[in-house]
Chain A
Amino acid sequence: MKLLIALMLYTGLAFGLERNAKIFVTSQTDMVGSAIVRQLKNRGYDNLLISSPNELDLLDQKAVLQFFEATKPNYVFLTSAKDRQLGSTYGNKTSPAEALSYNLSVQLNVIDAAYRSKVKKLLFISSPSIYPRICSKTIKEDDYLTGPIEPTLEWSGLAKIAGIKLCQAYNLQYGTRFISCVPANFYGPNDDYQEQYYPDLLALIDIMDEAKKTSQPSITIPGTGRANQEFTHIEDVADACIFLMKKYEGNQPVNIGWGRGPSIKELAISLVYYMTIFPHVDYDTSRPDGSPSRVLDSTLINSLGWYPKHTIDTNLFPLIQSYLKQKESL
């Protein structure tokens, strides 16, 4: 019996996302979209709909509807092709109109087309920018819209809120199964290492690297070293997305992440080890902590049975290598 259940779970029979289901991932170039495609392929899903931006312009209402009606996907992962560009603080500052209207239009076009072409289930992938700037210590799913959002991310943040609300409104009126999730701050290979996605970490690596190059006997880290940051690996995000597509039916978005993160002090200890330097480390408590701590509460997804697997510690070495290499080349 146990074997049978395990088999059903493995083949996806028990909870949908059947092995031969037609699955559309709206973008395959961004970190989340490409990780989802990679994992689906690894698990044997071979009926994936691939469309390049040249073939299908997601901003074109009519083209999106035609695409859905012609291809009739069963499941849709709605990711943003420009998350790292338009969703970043830089993107929000330099391209506010695009950050808002690109996301709004794509979401509107895809969600409406998914409803009209009778998609079985859709997962909208939102972002932590939906949450208020000042939040409880760990951010819960129902915290969004309870206060002003982070001003440096307000354009993409509002668009991502609208995406969640669109899903909810369609479910209420049409009985669709459009769910949404909020991946915590994530990292992964081939990233372009923007400061905001590696809060305090890149600055810390810089300090260590400098100390190593100049053989400094001691280094000083600003702040108490007690602030926590969450680092979720992109493969965990993709894994959770596929998990939610199978298992979750609620209207509230679901946070994806560790629900906790290492303190600056813990990160510093790991960095010292991986970068093979042994300076004396001081904390300058007269200076403020770096980025404000933002950790997403993961109680809901844990209660569904999902937990992340990739710790930042085990991924730190390749991350340092890749970041420093990219920095050198600039």
Chain B
Amino acid sequence: MEQDAKIYVAGHRGMVGSAIMRKLQKEGYHNIITTTSTELDLRNQQDVLKFFQVQKPAYVFLAAAKVGGILANDTYPAEFIRDNLSIELNVIDAAYKSGVKKLLLLGSSCIYPRMCPQPMKEEHLLTGTLEPTNEWYALAKICGVKLCQAYNRQYGTRFISCMPTNLYGPGDNYHLQNSHVLPALIRKFDDAKNTGAQKVHVWGTGQVKREFLHVDDLADACLFLMDNYEGEAPINVGWGKDISISNLAKLVQEAIGFDGQITYDISKPDGTPQKLLDTTLINSLGWHPQITLQEGLRQTIESYRDQKETLRR
């Protein structure tokens, strides 16, 4: 990407999109365009095509998506599949028709099958049943990945896609009901510290293992891939190693400075025993993540407290 290239970040207000924005600005890119959902509804075919034909961006980061937890997926299945499919169809087709040089679609590791062998490799896509709790979102994302491949094959475009692992960092969702495990732990430990509670209850046995990547590392990988990856397969972006929930809880406890006890509520479900991406491909291209979990947690807790402070005011 040339420094003055016109870059469109779709979904710049989301957790991933805003991290990509920070990274682009830090790297000195100065011709970035963004749209809010009121300015441009990405689900509207005609408007999206018009936008691309007028703006003619050279590079596109497609980070716009309807996202949410298990509860949201369960309550709004039609919106999850329709909105995500329309965004992908509209943006990818408009990018092709307006001559975009390169596009990066942000996927998710949830596109891999429920019983996927670990660590999950790029070729495991579509080899088995999807996780039913987010199948609507997952199927739409799979279609997005395949749309990129199909356009490349038929029209010679350069549309790539990447599959990030569980992300954390600024802009995350700390909602009690539908947040992911890491932000949920931060909130629980922080609340416990503030209220002087003696114990923090962690869901499940604490034995299952998950992988976590700081969203700034993902943004770094996105820029790297835009410059260095031309492959057809979606490329995994992860830390490369996983951590048990109990060890993660200890790290969060330490970073928050909570002195009480951790208990495990084994009446709550654990989910799959392990979720780890195989990152051999991106590592072989020369990319490695930089932000350790300890360092990332420290930053994230800081931004969580700021976020809370702003809300209070």
Contact = CB atoms under 8 A, between A and B. Distances in A.
Interface of A: 60-62, 94-101, 104-105, 108, 112, 115, 145-149, 154-155, 158-159, 161-162, 165-166, 168-170, 172-174
A115 B81 CA distance: 14
Interface in B89-141: 89, 92-93, 96, 126-130, 135-136, 139-140
Given A61-B44, A105-B89, A100 B78 contact: no
Contact of A147 (B46, B78, B127): B127
Interface residues of B, number: 36
Given A62-B46, A172-B77, A173-B78, A100 B130 contact: no
B297 interface: no
Interface string B131-153: 00001100110110011011101
A174 B78 contact: yes
A154 B93 CA distance: 19
A108 B127 contact: no
A147 B124 CA distance: 10
A169 B143 contact: no
A165 B82 contact: no
Contacts, number: 92
B150 A100 contact: yes
21 contacts: A60-B45, A61-B45, A62-B46, A94-B154, A95-B154, A96-B150, A96-B154, A97-B96, A97-B147, A97-B153, A100-B143, A101-B93, A104-B143, A105-B89, A108-B82, A112-B82, A148-B127, A161-B139, A169-B80, A173-B76, A173-B77
Nearest to A112: B82
Contact of A149 (B126, B154, B155): B126
Interface of B: 44-46, 75-82, 85-86, 89, 92-93, 96, 126-130, 135-136, 139-140, 142-143, 146-147, 149-151, 153-155
Contact of A165 (B46, B128, B135): B135
A149 B139 CA distance: 14
Most buried by A among B79, B130, B149, B150: B150
Contacts of B128: 145-147
B146 A169 contact: no
A124 to B, nearest CB: 14
A162 B85 contact: yes
Contacts of B153: 96-97
A104 B84 CA distance: 12
B135 to A, nearest CB: 7
- Interface majority SS (helix, strand, loop, mixed), chain B: helix
B151 A97 contact: yes
Contacts of B154: 94-98
Contact of A108 (B46, B86, B155): B86
A266 B86 CA distance: 48
A62 B146 CA distance: 25
Nearest to B145: A158
Contacts of A146: 128-129
A99 B46 contact: no
A99 B254 CA distance: 53
Given A62-B46, A97-B153, A165 B136 contact: yes
Nearest to A60: B45
Of the listed residues A98, A112, A165, the one surrounded by the most CB atoms of chain B closer than 10 A to its CB is A165
Contact of B150 (A147, A148, A155): A155
B175 to A, nearest CB: 21
A67 to B, nearest CB: 15
Contacts of B139: 161-162, 165
A156 to B, nearest CB: 10
Nearest to B44: A61
A170 B78 contact: yes
Q: Specify which of A62, A104, A149 lies most central, judged by the most chain B CB atoms within 10 Å of its CB.
A: A104
Nearest to B76: A173
A145 B89 contact: no
Contact of B82 (A96, A154, A169): A169
B147 A169 contact: no
A61 B86 CA distance: 10
Contacts of A60: 45
A215 to B, nearest CB: 47
A100 B136 contact: no
Nearest to A99: B150
Contacts of A159: 143
A38 to B, nearest CB: 32
A108 B81 CA distance: 10
A63 B153 CA distance: 29
A254 to B, nearest CB: 20
The 4 A-B pairs with the shortest beta carbon distances in the complex, nearest first, are A169-B77, A96-B150, A97-B154, A173-B78
Given A97-B153, A147-B127, 13 more contacts: A60-B45, A61-B44, A96-B153, A100-B147, A101-B150, A108-B82, A108-B85, A108-B86, A148-B126, A149-B126, A161-B139, A169-B80, A173-B77
B155 A97 contact: yes
A162 B76 CA distance: 16
A112 B81 CA distance: 11
B282 to A, nearest CB: 23
B131 to A, nearest CB: 11
Contacts of A172: 77-78
Contact of A155 (B85, B93, B146): B146
A108 B90 CA distance: 12
Contact of B85 (A104, A149, A154, A174): A104
